[in-house]
A and B are shown apart, each in its own frame.
Chain A
Amino acid sequence: DSGVTQTPKHLITATGQRVTLRCSPRSGDLSVYWYQQSLDQGLQFLIQYYNGEERAKGNILERFSAQQFPDLHSELNLSSLELGDSALYFCASSVTGSREKLFFGSGTQLSVL
């Protein structure tokens, strides 16, 4: 158990809908990362937050947004969903950032039908 909690584990929805994925980092970790993993795109970095502030941005679509709350949990919002958004979404946390190892959650499997 990595100590990082992601909910829900599975999500099935329809095109055009909006979903929210939730992540609780390990106790004491201030940094949260979001990744998208699919067969054709591999493991793509989406966005990183540190202590409530956005610190680094990757290949995140404009339809996607994220935030980190004062209690350090984070949410990834995906809207106007398309079939191609079906993927495994991972959250990871670390104390400060990429200067040390990340701890990954078990992921949310999103299926857009």
Chain B
Amino acid sequence: SQQGEEDPQALSIQEGENATMNCSYKTSINNLQWYRQNSGRGLVHLILIRSNEREKHSGRLRVTLDTSKKSSSLLITASRAADTASYFCATALGNTDKLIFGTGTRLQVFP
């Protein structure tokens, strides 16, 4: 079963709008990572947030982590058509070296 569940499953927005994706997980983690996948291609790492961090920024990306609620969110500001892709959260479990991926959010940004 998946460690991470993402919400929403799909999201459609216009260019310039913000996109928010949420990830919930089940067990304690060492860190949580976000990846992007363009259709049928390899995943690309976006950002990593450690369990003792609450917020992290990278360019137009903002990630938050709430370990008490076992949840994270990814915000993409001022979205562009090129942001169209699937976005996955992945949790590094606290007591192993596994990196478990969530179900993903398909983001469509219309020009």
Contact present for A106 and B31 (CB under 8 Å)? no
Partner of B30, one of A98, A102, A109: A98
A105 to B42, CA, bound (A): 6
A48 and B88 in contact, given A42-B103, A107-B41 (Cβ under 8 angstroms) = no
Contact present for B97 and A55 (CB under 8 Å)? yes
Partner of A43, one of B40, B45, B101: B101
Main secondary structure of the interface of B (DSSP, over half): strand
Main secondary structure of the interface of A (DSSP, over half): strand
Among A43, A55, A105, A107, residue most surrounded by chain B Cβ atoms (within 10 Å): A43
Of all chain B residues, the one with the shortest Cβ separation from A2 is: B42
B52 at the interface (CB under 8 A from A): no
Partner of A45, one of B30, B33, B100: B100
Name the interface residues of B67-104: CB closer than 8 Å to any CB of A.
88, 92-93, 96-104
Contact present for B104 and A50 (CB under 8 Å)? no
Interface bits B15-36 vs A (CB < 8 Å: 1, else 0): 0000000000000001101010
- Excluding A2-B42, A42-B101, A43-B101, 13 further A-B contacts by CB distance (< 8 Å) are A35-B101, A42-B102, A42-B104, A45-B99, A58-B100, A92-B43, A98-B31, A98-B92, A101-B48, A102-B33, A102-B99, A104-B42, A107-B41
3 A-B pairs closest in CB distance = A98-B92, A104-B42, A101-B45
